[in-house]
Amino acid sequence: MIEGLQLRRYNAEGAKEILDQLVDLYLEVYAGDGEFYTEDRYRRQLDLHMQRSGWELVTARVGGPLVGYIYGFPLSPQTRWWEGIQDPVPPGFTGENGTRTFALSELLVHTGWRRHGIASALHDELVASRSETRATLLVRPDNTAAQTAYAVWGWRKVTKLRPNWENAPVFDVLVSHPRDQSSSD
C-alpha cells in the first residue's frame, strides 16, 4: 500500500462538489479509447447514476490530488443494467429487488499511480461495506489488467453485454458474491 493514501466516501450530494475532478480523471484514464469515452456521455452517465438510491463513491488521494475512484449503486427492480446481454444466463439471473445486486460502475486509477494497490484498496473499501448478496460490473474483454485483478479479487465472468448506448463496446459481465461465496448466480 502506498504511504499517504487517503480514502474518502461520498454520497451523491457530496460528490457534486468534486464532479469536475471525477470527469477530468475519467477523461485522462480513457484518453484515446474511442468515441464512447466522451465528456458529454460520461457527465450524462454520472448524472443518471448519482440519482440512484444508495449511490456511493470512494475516492483515493495521495498528498491532495485525486488519483482514483470507484462508485456504484444497488440495482432497482426496474433496472436496465442487464439490457443487452448476449448469451443465455441462468433463470432468475437478471431479477432484481433493490437489495440483491450492487453494480460497480467505475473503478479507475490515474496511469501514474497504477500498480501501487490503489485499485485494490478502493475496491475493498467499497465492496466490503455493501449489504447486497452479490455485486456485478462490466469490463472490456481486452482490458487484461482489470480482468486479472478482478479474477484475483474473486470475480467471475458470466456473460457478455453491449449497453444500449451509442458507440458502446461489448463488455464482459462479471459477478462476485462477497456475502455468499457459495451462491451459483
Give the pLDDT confidence of 69-85 residue by residue, as tens digits: 999 999 999 999 999 99
Enter the pTM of the model: 0.89
pLDDT reading at 131 higher than 50: yes
Q: Are 173 and 138 in contact (CB under 8 A)?
A: yes
Mean per-residue pLDDT, 130-154? 94
The CA–CA distances, whole Å, from 68 to 11, 91, 142 equal: 16, 36, 21
CATH class in words for 5-176: alpha beta
Q: Residues with Cβ < 8 Å from 113, sequence gap 6 or more?
A: 2, 60, 62, 67, 68
**Looking at the DSSP assignment, which residues form a beta bridge with residue 102?**
74, 135
User: What integer pLDDT is reported at residue 66 of this predicted model?
Assistant: 96
Q: Look at residue 109 in the predicted model and tell me its pLDDT.
A: 95
Domains of the chain, by residue range, sit at 5-176
Q: What is the mean pLDDT of residues 158-165?
A: 91
pLDDT for position 55: 97
Question: How far is 115 from 72, CA to CA, in rounded Å?
Answer: 22
Residue 20 parent element (H or E): helix 19-29
Q: Say if residue 167's pLDDT is above 50.
A: yes
- Given a cut of 70, whether residue 178 has pLDDT beyond it is no
Q: Cell match 482490458: residue?
A: 143
Residue 182's pLDDT is what? Answer: 37
Tens digits of per-residue pLDDT, 2-30? Answer: 788 999 999 999 999 999 999 999 999 98
| Residue 77 CA: distances (Å) to CA of 26, 158, 166 | 29, 20, 24
How do the residues of the chain divide into helix, strand and coil, expressed in percent and rounded to 5?
A: 30, 25, 45
Query: What pLDDT, on the 0 to 100 scale, is given for residue 35?
Result: 80
Find cell 487484461 and name the residue. 144
Say if residue 48's pLDDT is above 80: yes
Sequence-distant (6+) residues with CB within 8 A of 107 are 68, 69, 70, 119, 122, 123, 137, 146
For residues 145 and 99, what is the distance between their CA atoms, to the nearest angstrom? 30
